[in-house]
Amino acid sequence: MASLWEYANPVKFIRTAETVLPWVSILATVTLVAGLVWGFFFTPDDYRQGSTVKIIYIHVPAALMAINVWFMMLVTSLVWLIRRHHVSALAAKAAAPVGAIMTVIALATGAIWGQPMWGTWWEWDPRLTSFLILFLFYLGYMALWEAIDNPDTAADLTAVLCIVGSVFAILSRYAVNFWNQGLHQGASLSLDKEENVADVFSTPLYISIAGFILLFIALVFLRTRTEIYKRRTKALLARERLG
């Protein structure tokens, strides 16, 4: 069986991306459209929240992705620092803007949802505040990648920033919790059935979450491939200039 580390080879990665990308893209589109259409057109209104409950099919998957993309960046950063696989570092770089957009979507839909439900666009609630801080971390991470010319230096520095940032992000989460108790409800999806949202709502929600995950995978494949092309172009140009 092929080892996972084989995909660290850029050429191999590109070949894999070529075969996988079309399928993942189609699957992502189908699931995402299915989840959102089901959620938007074919779910009943909630007896308390009215039709705003339909926002959940975007809000919850985006929020889940916002956190998990950062987690994926943390893992790939560690892989880069320990095993020096270039694809791993580039995958982290490729994922960051996707995570940032997911955070914005979670914040924006949250604000739009909060307006009718809580009577305010914004509340310094721990969950909202944590997401805002997470967004700042994404911004700093992307800015550091942009600022450094040497790709290996950039990969090293951003990887360390990602690890240190993760620790501080968790610290911030606790600090913010301590600082203000919030309006936001607890987790919408948990293994404990009692607290869970009802089945009519949860099935399209799971499909939508799957769609967001597939979309993320497709985007990371695509964007990592772009980064590999860019790296190769840069290397070729440098070689030409030398002679």
Partner 1 sequence: MIALLMRDLRLAMRAGGGFGLGLAFFLIVTVLVPFGVGPESTLLAKIAPGILWLGALLACLLSLDRIFALDWEDGSLDLLATSPLPMEGVVSVKALAHWVTTGLPLCLAAPIFGVLLHLPDQGHTWVVLSLLIGTPALSVIGTFGAALTVGLKRGGLLLSLLVLPLYVPTLIFGSEVARRGIEGLSTTTPLLMLGGITFGTIALLPFASALVLRVNLR
Partner 2 sequence: MMPDLGKYADAVLSSYVVSILLLVVLVVMSLRAAKKARAELQKLEDRRRG
CA-to-CA distance for 175 and 178, rounded, in angstroms? 5
Q: Quick check: 55 and 113 in contact, CB under 8 A?
A: yes
Among 34, 30, 53, residue whose Cα is nearest residue 43: 53
Interface residue with partner 2, options 16, 52, 68, 188 (CB under 8 A): 52
Neighbours of 211 (CB within 10 A): 22
Taking CB within 5 to 8 Å according to partner kind, which of partner 2, partner 1, none is near residue 166?
none
> Of these, 62, 134, 176, 209, which contacts partner 2 (CB under 8 A)?
62
Residue 61's Cβ-side half-sphere holds a number of Cα atoms within 13 Å equal to 24
26 binds partner 2 per the rule CB under 8 A:
no
The 3-state DSSP class for residue 73 equals helix
How far apart CA 198 and CA 43 sit, in angstroms, is 11
List binders of partner 1 among 154-213 (CB under 8 A): 156-157, 160-161, 163-165, 168, 171-172, 174-176, 178-179
Pick the closer one to partner 2 by CB: 79 or 218. 218
The contacts of residue 123 (CB under 8 Å, 6+ apart) are: 114, 182, 183
Give me the residues that bind partner 2 (CB under 8 A), please: 36, 40-41, 45, 50-52, 54-55, 58-59, 62, 97-98, 101, 104-105, 108-109, 112-113, 115-116, 215, 219, 222-223, 225-227, 229-230, 232-233, 236-237, 240
Give me the residues that bind partner 1 (CB under 8 A), please: 133, 136-137, 139-140, 143-144, 147-148, 153, 156-157, 160-161, 163-165, 168, 171-172, 174-176, 178-179
